[in-house]
Amino acid sequence: MTKVAVVFADGCEEVEGLSVVDVIRRLEVDCDMVGLDKRDIMGAHQIKITCDKVVDDSLLDYDLVAFPGGSVGAENLRDSEKLKDIMVKRNQEGKWDAAMCAAPIAFGRYGILKDTNYTCYPGFQKEIQADCPSAKFSEDITVTDEKHKVITSRGPATAWAYSYAIARALGIDPSQLEKAMLYDYLAKNIQNSL
């Protein structure tokens, strides 16, 4: 059975984490909300998030682990040695991982982005390049690096694209859900409304 975990830290961008949880659960895939160091997390916009569990070695058992951004939340993820050790092991085992907005700074610090195609919130690529000079930055909305099994995305407005990219990486076709959530309509008509 496919399982996804989303890791939340204080200061996270709530919409980026909850969008993944929402989309993955709508696709009837198990998705756990995991607190970095406690179950109750306070997001960047003062939205309290109650997680199912706290980071432990069981993260090694998930098919994909996703990080939401938010600069403070991303820094908290980046600076956790416990989480770093788990994520490096996951990467060495060839498991899928995902990070969006500012959160790719954690992957950069962990060394997971070595020789990897990625994207992030504008400006955070400077820190990533300092930590991981061989990482290859792109301005695409989402980047899926199949070889290194890493998915990244830009920021709050790209959270659905990121969530659907995660589903596709897991071999799940989200096209019906994209229609049901009007994502296909948004993608088709966004330019007309600007």
Task: Dump pLDDT digits (tens) for 48-65.
Answer: 999 999 999 999 999 999
Mean pLDDT, residues 166-192 taken together: 92
Which residue range is the domain that position 88 belongs to?
3-193
Task: Dump pLDDT digits (tens) for 73-93.
Answer: 999 999 999 999 999 999 999
Q: Is 129 exposed, middle or buried (0-12, 13-18, 19+ CB in 10 A)?
A: middle
Nearest CA to 15 out of 62, 78, 68 is that of 68
If pLDDT is split at 50, 70 and 90, which confidence band does 190 have? confident
CATH number of residue 186's parent domain:
3.40.50.880
CB distance 3 to 30 below 8 Å = yes
Q: Judge whether residue 17 has pLDDT over 80.
A: yes
DSSP designation for 60: G
Task: Provide the domain count of the chain.
Answer: 1
% of the chain at pLDDT higher than 90: 94
pLDDT at 193: 66
If pLDDT is split at 50, 70 and 90, which confidence band does 143 have? very high
Mean pLDDT, residues 148-158 taken together: 98
Mean pLDDT, residues 10-14 taken together: 98
Residues in the chain: 194
